[in-house]
Structure 1
Amino acid sequence: MKPRSLMFTLYGEYIQYYGEEIWVGSLIQLMNGFGISESSVRGAILRMVQKDLLQVRKKGNKSYYSVTELGRRRVEDGVTRVYSAPRAHWDGKWRILSYSFPEEKRELRNEIRKELTWTGFGMLSNSTWVSPNPLENQVMEMIKNYKIEENAILFSSSDVVSHPKEWIMEKGWDFQQVTDNYIHFIEKYSPKFEQLREKALNNELSDEECFIKRTTIVHEYRKFLFQDPGFPRELMPVDWVGTKARELFWNIHQLISIPAVRYFESIYEAAPDRDIKPQRDKAINPFKEVYV
């Protein structure tokens, strides 16, 4: 696991429910369980602070880290997409973003492309991106954050005159690759689920083992956010394999969530001046109701 990516997973899975702040010593100990050294953790923290994703607060001789507004938006977007089931119905509208950047803003253009891919947009051409999901607020916030009001324009349309929606879906997203990756996920984690269930029935799972396994599968499942745009169900096949993968993910997650959270709580240390009211129930079960 890359330290920065794992840190986002830890904030989304646990830290956000415990005051959104953690002592660096606790963070180092948690990440050490995944084979990441203290120097790698501190290096990742420094880079995330420089990119305005993390901020530090000193209390005595200890440092406590929390996400910035930009970091919080990325954490919340990721958590929402991981734990919210797709909408059942499509409102019939395409959200279309078009932009144009001068050559001197080439790196910014690359950042925008990463953001759009993460959000679930598909690329129709180098400067035209689309999504059937109601992402207007997220896109407008992105435009504001990057200060690209003069470079980008967002449309919403229910009519595409030249092509059917099936063409747009094939052009903007590689659903065959997404399908193959979901099948691989199912083949990999189905036997792991059976093994975990048997060990749980025999009381053979430690809290630390559950924490590592839950965090690992979330980390693996998060990768689909860069592949599966989360289309409304009516646009997808009835037997869409992504639904089966999500059910497997839920089964494993909930099987080991209570001991995983218990282990996190044993390592977590809040600042002495913070009166934390943990949202333990949300940490154990962050899954959200199905959208309609």
Structure 2
Amino acid sequence: MIPNSEREETVSGSSDTDRVLRGPRSLIVSFFGTYARDVGGWVGVADLITLMADLDVDGPSVRSAVSRLKRRGLLVSERLGGAAGYRLSEEGRRILAEGDRRIFGHRVARVEDGWVLVVFSVPESERSRRHALRSRLTRSGFGTTAAGVWVAPAHATDQARATLRELDMEGYAELFHADHLGFRDLSEAVARWWDLPALQAMHEGFLTEHEPVLTAWRRRSLRGEEGPRRRRAAFADHLRAVDSWRRSPFLDPGLPPELLPDDWAGGRAARVFSDLHTLLRTPALDHVRSTLTP
């Protein structure tokens, strides 16, 4: 079982969440984002504890996690038929809808589409706001070309504009659409603007954990296995995959493949996630529906 003393780490399942615990809290956020909206939005506490037990999360950890998510404004408590439960808040729905666009609609850029530049200058008296902007841009997949100059593939333009508006930073920044005209080779420049080894390690970690799971499920599907045990296992593996993957499309902006190292693991990791999602989503949701109290 995962103890109540969870390990804290930055997670970017949404550009709005600053600190989310990888563990019970992260799994519950992923659960509500992946399934809750398909089952009416409300989930009873007792049923949530039963479902999280399939991932070896104990009851006290679940209660502690949902209490903290309520305090963060992502969940709201509600009683239905005398049973205690939770549903996503309006803010939670907005955040997870944004996550859906990034997680399930991840785009790969083309060099000919160009780049978006965010150029900003924030006075030292407001350095906390400057730090918040830098953090949000990092968690939205932007790289750094110079102090106060951040870059991403052009398809991130709307995200950049939304970030500046949400942080009320339009007065400190300008947006540009740009092409790279020199002087370094563009692939060399990209390697300076982004921490490619860190992104590669993230993708390789996902593959190490989830590629064998995909292989096992393909073999299992060939044997035609069905039944409650299969659906329960599909739920556990699917939710773990979503929870592990949901940071990646935010931190990795989908750089043009020709600018990346030959052994780049990002494309393979994206295919593994897509295949796992396609294979396990339906039986996982069936398990959730069969577990919920009518």
The alignment's TM-score, normalised by the length of structure 1, stands at 0.75
User: CA 1:181/1:88 → structure 2, altered by over 3 Å: closer, same or farther?
Assistant: closer
Look up the match of 1:217.
241
The question of 1:243 aligning with 2:262 is answered no
- Structure 1 counterpart of 2:240, one-letter code: T
**Pick from 64, 77, 97: which aligns with 2:98?**
77
The question of 1:253 aligning with 2:277 is answered yes
**Pick from 137, 146, 150: which aligns with 2:171?**
150
Q: State the shift of 1:131 in Å.
A: 0.4
User: CA 1:246/1:153 → structure 2, altered by over 3 Å: closer, same or farther?
Assistant: same
Look up the match of 2:252.
228
Q: Distance in 2 between matches of 1:248 and 1:72?
A: 26
Contact 2:207 2:272 survives alignment (8 Å)? yes
Stretches of structure 2 lacking an aligned partner (at least 5 in a row): 1-21
Q: State the shift of 1:177 in Å.
A: 3.3
Look up the match of 2:194.
173
- Structure 1 counterpart of 2:195, one-letter code: D
Q: State the shift of 1:34 in Å.
A: 2.4
Q: Distance in 1 between matches of 2:203 and 2:81?
A: 47
User: CA 1:159/1:17 → structure 2, altered by over 3 Å: closer, same or farther?
Assistant: same
The question of 1:7 aligning with 2:31 is answered no
Q: State the shift of 1:85 in Å.
A: 4.8
- Structure 2 counterpart of 1:189, one-letter code: H
Q: Give % identity.
A: 28
User: CA 1:146/1:27 → structure 2, altered by over 3 Å: closer, same or farther?
Assistant: farther
Look up the match of 2:213.
192
Q: State the shift of 1:215 in Å.
A: 0.9
The question of 1:203 aligning with 2:228 is answered no
Q: State the shift of 1:108 in Å.
A: 4.2
Q: Distance in 2 between matches of 1:162 and 1:225?
A: 29
Stretches of structure 1 lacking an aligned partner (at least 5 in a row): 271-292
Q: Distance in 2 between matches of 1:126 and 1:25?
A: 50
User: Taking CA–CA contacts closer than 8 Å with sequence separation of 6 or more, which of the two structures ends up with the larger relative contact order?
Assistant: 1
The alignment's TM-score, normalised by the length of structure 2, stands at 0.75
SS at match of 2:113: coil
Look up the match of 2:13.
none
SS at match of 1:34: coil
SS at match of 1:203: coil
**Pick from 34, 48, 68: which aligns with 1:47?**
68
Contact 2:154 2:177 survives alignment (8 Å)? no
Contact 1:121 1:129 survives alignment (8 Å)? yes
Contact 1:53 1:67 survives alignment (8 Å)? yes
In terms of mean alpha carbon deviation, does 143-152 or 97-106 score higher?
97-106
Contact 1:133 1:231 survives alignment (8 Å)? no
Q: Distance in 2 between matches of 1:209 and 1:44?
A: 23
Q: State the shift of 1:218 in Å.
A: 1.9
**Pick from 150, 172, 182: which aligns with 2:203?**
182
User: CA 1:188/1:87 → structure 2, altered by over 3 Å: closer, same or farther?
Assistant: closer
SS at match of 2:87: strand
Contact 2:200 2:265 survives alignment (8 Å)? yes
In terms of mean alpha carbon deviation, does 118-127 or 180-189 score higher?
180-189
- Structure 2 counterpart of 1:134, one-letter code: H
RMSD: 3.2
**What is the count of residue pairs matched by the alignment?**
270
- Structure 2 counterpart of 1:20, one-letter code: G
Q: Distance in 1 between matches of 2:288 and 2:256?
A: 34
Write out per-residue CA displacement over residues 206-228 of structure 1, whole angstroms, 9 at most, x where no aligned residue: 21111001111222222423542
**Pick from 117, 120, 123: which aligns with 1:96?**
117
Q: Distance in 1 between matches of 2:171 and 2:106?
A: 35
Q: Distance in 2 between matches of 1:152 and 1:62?
A: 49
Look up the match of 1:275.
none
Contact 1:118 1:225 survives alignment (8 Å)? no
